[in-house]
Amino acid sequence: MKRLKYTLVAMILISSMVLTAAITTGNTLAMIIDQTLELVNTFVPTKISAGNTVEINVEKIVVANGVNGLNAGGFTFELTNTETNDVLAITSNSEGEAGLTLSFTEEDIGKTFTYTLKERNDGREGFTYSTKEYRIEITVSLIGNDLVAAATLDGEAVDQVACEFVNIYETGDEPLPPPAGDQGMPMLYLGLVLFSASCIIVLLWRKNKKSA
């Protein structure tokens, strides 16, 4: 019984693969198989899901004589990037609410962004402004196909960045005196009444005198 000897030579090219097989019996070449297989490379880009934004919410509270509920609108808050010193300013509405959204892209993967958030002191008369300053850190990473922007507030991991600022408004213990015009009018009315009464008395006295 004769034993067959197989020789397999393979060469891989960039665009194709060449397979050459030689079947021999002893030293005699019996058959040569030469086949080229075309290889097609397909690039499928990774799809990155959403989740690349962080919302920063601010609540403004104004307290007067221990009572909360005054109009908290028109106060300004500044978010500062500690590396670039870029500042984003937001203003509270009449309900004391303010907010902004930070967006991140694939170019930010592996980076950490640090911000400070504080209230701007506009010098409104009677107000004691909050001196609270928050530190916000946002780290962008790729987990699977998800672009994730994870936030910490003052070093603590949070799902939502919510910051509160409280201002005190001093109104004083005694009420303000009424305007001078409001005091003058009652006195004028009283004078007119007294004058009218005097005239009536004089007329009645003269009438009675003539009758006598």
- Kindly compute the dihedral angle of the four CA atoms of residues 194, 197, 203, 204, in this order, to the nearest 10 degrees: -140
Q: Is the pLDDT confidence value at 35 over 90?
A: no
The verdict on residue 44 lying in a domain is no
CB under 8 Å to 62, separation ≥6 — which residues?
A: 68, 70, 71, 72, 96, 127, 166, 167, 168, 169
The verdict on residue 181 lying in a domain is no
Q: What is the mean pLDDT of residues 66-73?
A: 77
For residues 72 and 61, the answer to whether their CB atoms sit within 8 Å is: yes
Question: Residue 72's domain is classified under what CATH number?
Answer: 2.60.40.10
Q: For position 54, what pLDDT does the model report?
A: 96
Q: How confident is the model at residue 209 (pLDDT cuts 50, 70, 90)?
A: low
Residues 24 and 97 in one domain: no
Q: What is the mean pLDDT of residues 146-164?
A: 96
Residues 80 and 127 in one domain: yes
Sign of CA dihedral 175, 176, 177, 180: negative
Residues 119 and 69 in one domain: yes
* CA angle (65, 67, 70) in 5-degree steps: 100
Average pLDDT score, the chain: 77
Q: Is the pLDDT confidence value at 47 over 60?
A: no
What is the spatial distance between Cα 26 and Cα 35, in angstroms, rounded to a whole number?
23
Provide the whole-model pTM: 0.59
pLDDT in tens, 74-98: 999 999 999 999 999 999 999 999 9
12 is in which domain, residue-wise?
5-38
The verdict on residue 123 lying in a domain is yes
